Amino acid sequence: MDVVVSLCKRRGFIFQSSEIYGGIASCWDYGPLGVELKNNVKRVWWRDNVYLRPDMVGLDAAILMHPNVWKASGHLDHFTDPMVDCRACRRRFRADKLDETSWVHYCPATKGNKFDIPAGEPCKHCSARRTLCPACGKGELTPPRQFNLMFKTFMGPVEEDAAVTYLRPETAQGIFVNFDNVLQSMRLKLPFGIAQIGKSFRNEITPGNFIFRTHEFEQMEIEYFVNPNDLIDGRPADEVWHERWIEERFAWYQRYGVRRARLRLREHAREELAHYAKRTADIEYEFPMGWSELEGIANRTDFDLKQHGKTSGKALTYFDEERKTHIVPYVIEPSAGADRSVLAFLVDAYREEEVRGEKRVVLRLHTDLAPIKIAVLPLLKKRDEIVATAREIQRRLARRWMSVYDDTAAIGRLYRRQDEVGTPYCVTVDVQTVGDRDRGEAGDAKVTIRERDSMDQIRVPVAELEAVFRELLTDGVAWSTVGARFPAVKN
Ligand code: GAP
């Protein structure tokens, strides 16, 4: 993880928030390349789940909602974690996760020597197990008490109980309370889904692991409504749709390059299920700190629509034409984190390779996700015609694709820099492109395109560049197919 965190800072992906003031724990800012990567993750998610599906529509609800939303949803009463405090160092821990972290121990059998002991293991010298604070190794821990994870705030100028509201801890509730608005305005028929991307906030007791668990994060959520009375191949429709969504979401990460071996499905045990869930399966990724949740896919039944119907007095129902009756739909909820997805895509793409005896760091990001699609590089920055041609090419390409011009180093180093941030294609303008006026030599008006992963190079007429990149970046045609049409250049 340290290597990825360091690359993210060095190359402008992700910075510690408020760093010049010493930083603020578990808050991160996306830099110039990070914002492109995260926007690309959100864009492909939206494209695949909204534009490419006739049964889905989008929504963007407000972060601040009526406080009764959180009463009805159960968040006020149930959205809690058991928390303990250290009486000495005042650090705070989740009681249910205490044995999942390493612990500090001053061992009486070795004259009080300090040891850092792996999670869940006893001391090798005195066989003691952890009872004190795992961080300082000295303080007693308080008994567990329930701690609500919602951020509380006040609406308006008066800080009184009547003005209390919350920053939403999930985007889902914005969809449930708008169920009828969307249903009526869009004249939808079951089954259909509503997708939303937006910020959520949780006062996590133990945030950490870079952008994996933070207080402020973005979710990409779908609430997919089905008629629970329908049968598909003799099985309840909600159960079949749940399985379809698990398969679809599992395939989605692989479609954008995540290796199959680093993904797995974890079924929630009955006692672990959220209060609203009939069944939940998590897609887990093998992050550097171990297998952890990337996305949860829950069958939330009719819990939320019923609760909001009851609390607001406005029934959130659907008229079943076939059975001539009003029903409350069941909901399948694929709920992904945009930041967690960014982390998985980054970690999975990161490679260290050896090329001609030298180390090459490369982010093998899918072209749809790469922050910069094309870097245009002049071979010699002292030749005005080369620089002018390269700048003009970059300006033209930038109308369609995120592209940059860079002349701040020699070509080999420029290639390495682009590899390190995952740029799939570099275009190099050289003397051959523009010719040599002093010698009376005309240019060939061709440039070299270098592909990141294979490092193969081809020579392409400038006039055909946009058509070539349309195939590669927009139509998804493979490099091997496009490259085969043009002469190869030795690198
Ligand atoms: N509406 C259901 C829901 O919110 P969740 O499992 O609590 O379910 C869904 O969250 C996803 O949101 C997680 O799989 C994760 O990707 C992301 N997420 C949750 N808490 C997060 C946090 N503190 N920091 C970053 N991402 C988080």
| 278-304: pLDDT as tens digits | 999 999 999 999 999 999 999 999 999
Quote the ligand 1 centre to 228 CA distance (angstroms).
26
How far apart (Å, rounded) are the C-alpha atoms in residues 146 and 260?
Answer: 38
Ligand 1-lining residues (CB < 6 angstroms): 170, 172, 202, 204, 213-214, 217, 219, 221, 293-296, 333, 335-337, 339-340
Q: What percent of the chain has pLDDT over 90?
A: 89
Site to probe by mutation for ligand 1, drawn from 218, 293, 300, 341 as the one with most ligand atoms within 8 Å of Cβ, is 293
In ligand 1, the atom with minimum distance to the C-alpha of 340 is 16
Residue 490 has pLDDT above 90, yes or no: no
Give the confidence band of 208 by pLDDT, cuts at 50, 70, 90: confident
Length of the chain: 491
Site to probe by mutation for ligand 1, drawn from 75, 335, 342 as the one with most ligand atoms within 8 Å of Cβ, is 335
Q: What percent of the chain has pLDDT over 70?
A: 100
For 272, other C-beta atoms within 10 Å of its C-beta total: 10
Element containing residue 291 per DSSP (H, E): strand 290-301
For atom 18 of ligand 1, which residue has the closest CA? 337
Answer for the pair 338, 42: CB distance below 8 angstroms, yes or no.
yes
The tokens for 48 are: 């695949």
For atom 21 of ligand 1, which residue has the closest CA? 213
Residue 491 has pLDDT above 80, yes or no: no
Q: What is the pTM of this model?
A: 0.92
Quote the ligand 1 centre to 181 CA distance (angstroms).
26
How far apart (Å, rounded) are the C-alpha atoms in residues 170 and 136?
Answer: 34
Answer for the pair 342, 211: CB distance below 8 angstroms, yes or no.
yes
Answer for the pair 115, 104: CB distance below 8 angstroms, yes or no.
yes
